[in-house]
Each structure stands twice: as structure tokens, then as C-alpha cells.
Amino acid sequence: MPFDFMNKRVVVTGGSRGIGRAIALGFAAAGAHVSICARGAAALEATRAEIAALGVTAHAAPCDLADGPAVTRYVGEAAAALGGIDVLVNNASGFGMGDDEAGWAAGLAVDVMAMVRASHAALPHLEAAAGSSVIHIASISGYKPSTRAPAYAAVKAAMLNYTTSQAAMWAPRRIRVNCIAPGSVEFAGGTWEQRRLANDPLYGRILQGIPFGRLGTPEEIADVALFLASPYARWVTGQSIAVDGGQLLGA
């Protein structure tokens, strides 16, 4: 199915690399004007240039998503640059893994609170738009216990739950809220590529547990994001969709 987001305004947090980059480029290729934020200036500018090359408005700004005021400020700047917001994609993660203060602090600040803060800042703009939606990017880790990354799994579970609450709260405003829970996704420079190149045994164990026999790609997550934001999903809200090649089936 072709996606048409001509002149829609899309904001993607953590949009400079991996899944966020693929989502931003997917919307831009479908005609949307796109704003992205991230901490790394070089990757941010490289992706902004890729978006601009597709002939749409491309806005990018550095933002530490663990910083509450910075998140609010960025969303306001993005709305001003794009002329509003039709779609908000909360993609960033603090990758807090361990069951310690640092792991919990990173996950709660970025995965959870940046999602909440960006949503609140975007709300007036989403209300002013027709057919607007919010998409959170969580993880299949949120569906099950994890001894390897307990803090990460817990904050992803919080994202899955908040998706349902937010969808119920915002339905009267005609704003749809959904979530994507990716499985293990590999891309250049990402964690799973690094593990593969280092011959980390964990990579092989994860691969062996995926019924489709491979890790996912960022573009496969982006395609689902475009669907959820499109009129094809106009009656879909409060849902979390696992995109994992059956990885949960082998858990």
C-alpha cells in the first residue's frame, strides 16, 4: 500500500540513526516535513541532509532527552519549524540495562519521561491537526522478565502500559496513540552489529531464537510506523505491535 504523508508534519525523537533515522526517512519519502533530535551532532546533520534531499522541510536540533526543559523546548522549536505537528514518534532510549541506580535513572529519564514530556509538549499541536497520532517505540523486552537487562525491560513495560492509558485519555481529542515493540534489530554502528563483529556468543543465541532466522532491519520497523500513522490505521489506537520475526514465540 502506498503511503501519502504529503505536507504532514512529523517529529521523531532520537531520529539520527537506526530505527529513528529509518522512520524519519520513511515519512520524508512519503512527502512529510520532518524534524529530528538527538545528542550526536554529526549523525544528526547527516540525517537532516538525507531528509532535505527528499525535497521536504528538514529540521534538526541537538537535544539531551534526559533534560526535561530541553525536551519541551525542542518540541516547540520543531513545531515552529514545521508549522505544526501531525505525528509524534517517541523513539529514544537511554539503554539503562543493569539493576542499579545508573541503569534505572537512564531508562526512566529517557525512555519514560522523555516520552511523557514530548507528548505533553506536542499535545496542543496534535489537537490542532486532523488525524494526528503518537507512536512510541518500545521493545519486546517489555513483554517478559529479563535477568540481563532488568531496568530496560521494566521501562519498556511502562511504555507499553502508558500507551493504553494515553490512548484512552486522548481518544476524545481524536488523537490516536499506538506503540511498536521491535525485536532485535541490526544496523550499521548499532549494538547488534558490534556484537556480531566481536563474535559475541549472545548474538548467536539471539539469532537462534528468531524463527525467521535473522535479525530485523530499521526499515521494517519504519514501515509499521508509517502504517500506524496513516489513514489505513484510522480505527487503531491503544495497541502495541511486536515487530520481531517471531522472536517472542521462541522466548
Quote the pLDDT of residue 250. Answer: 79
Residue 192, domain member (yes or no): no
pLDDT for 251 equals: 59
Residue 147 lies in a domain: yes
The pTM is what?
0.97
Verify whether residue 152 is a known catalytic residue: yes
Residue 105 located in a structural domain: yes
Task: Give the chain's domain count.
Answer: 1
pLDDT value of position 28: 98
Catalytic residue, chosen from 74, 143, 152, 232, is: 152
What is the Cα–Cα distance from 224 to 119, expressed in whole angstroms? 20
Give domain status of residue 36, yes or no. yes
Asked whether residue 206 is domain-assigned, the answer is: no
d(CA 135, CA 237) in angstroms, rounded, equals 10
* CATH number (domain holding residue 171): 3.40.50.720
For residue 65, is it within any domain?
Answer: yes
Instruction: Domain of residue 162: give its range.
Output: 9-187+217-242
Three-state secondary-structure class, residue 116: helix
In a domain, 47, yes or no: yes
> HSE (CB half, 13 Å, CA atoms) of 97?
5
72 close to 122: Cβ distance less than 8 angstroms: no
* Residue 134, beta-bridge partner list: 88, 177
Q: Which residues of the chain have pLDDT under 50?
A: none
Give a yes or no: residue 207 inside a domain: no
Nearest to 91 by CA among 1, 29, 26: 26
pLDDT tens readout for residues 36-48: 999 999 999 999 9
